[in-house]
């Protein structure tokens, strides 16, 4: 057994966790702001092509930690504090103005047929969950593809 002072590594660990939590809070706040502004742009009738051009500039998150196994409420928070929704939850919450059945069909089949990028989401063992920003970005692109038809 090693006989060393465990205090410095423990302090570094605590500082690293604190730094991680601050970064996660900033990311969550930024994503919330982007989601709100995207919703406002859509509601105001902003041209979808312009909105898509801006949204394409987003850098995807690099965090691939698994979704927490326990479900404490309808919409699960992921490890960095972002809330994720199933398609059914997103439709019920008004994030997607579609029925769950239409959302599934449009996202899983028709989007690919039309070349619309589908968000990856995170599979938790039961369902794929998406952030509000992922869903709103997809829906904007989906609507734009419908107008090009």
Tens of pLDDT, residue by residue over 44-100, are 887 777 777 777 776 655 443 333 333 334 455 555 567 899 999 999 999 999 999
Across-strand partners of 131?
84
Q: What is d(CA 3, CA 9) in angstroms, rounded to the nearest whole number?
A: 14
Tens of pLDDT, residue by residue over 4-47, are 787 877 777 778 778 877 777 777 777 777 877 877 887 788 77
Average pLDDT over residues 108-134: 91
**Burial group, residue 101, by CB count within 10 angstroms (0-12, 13-18, 19+):** exposed
Q: What is the pTM of this model?
A: 0.54
User: Does residue 69 belong to any structural domain of this protein?
Assistant: no
In the numeric block, the tokens 């995207």 are attached to 38
> Would strands 83-85 and 122-123 be described as parallel, antiparallel, or unpaired?
unpaired
User: Does residue 67 belong to any structural domain of this protein?
Assistant: no
Parent domain of 26: 7-58+74-148
- pLDDT higher than threshold 60 for residue 119: yes
Q: What is the pLDDT of residue 59?
A: 61
User: Does residue 107 belong to any structural domain of this protein?
Assistant: yes
Q: What is the pLDDT of residue 67?
A: 36
How many distinct structural domains can be found in the chain? Answer: 1
User: Does residue 68 belong to any structural domain of this protein?
Assistant: no
User: Does residue 135 belong to any structural domain of this protein?
Assistant: yes
- Contact criterion met (CB below 8 Å) for 117 and 138: yes
Higher-scoring residue by pLDDT: 68, 120: 120
Q: What is the pLDDT of residue 88?
A: 94
In the numeric block, the tokens 């972002």 are attached to 82
Q: What is the pLDDT of residue 1?
A: 52
């Amino acid at each position: 057994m090693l006989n060393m002072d465990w205090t410095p590594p423990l302090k570094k660990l605590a500082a690293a966790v604190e730094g991680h939590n601050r970064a996660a809070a900033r990311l969550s706040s930024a994503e919330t702001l982007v989601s709100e502004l995207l919703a406002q742009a859509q509601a105001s009738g902003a041209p979808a092509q312009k909105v898509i051009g801006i949204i394409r500039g987003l850098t995807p998150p690099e965090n691939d930690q698994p979704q927490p196994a326990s479900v404490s409420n309808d919409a699960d928070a992921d490890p960095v504090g972002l809330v994720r929704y199933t398609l059914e939850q997103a439709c019920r919450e008004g994030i997607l103005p579609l029925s769950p059945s239409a959302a599934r069909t449009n996202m899983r089949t028709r989007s690919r047929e039309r070349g619309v990028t589908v968000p990856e989401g995170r599979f938790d063992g039961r369902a794929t969950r998406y952030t509000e920003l992922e869903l709103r970005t997809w829906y904007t692109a989906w609507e734009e593809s419908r107008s090009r038809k």
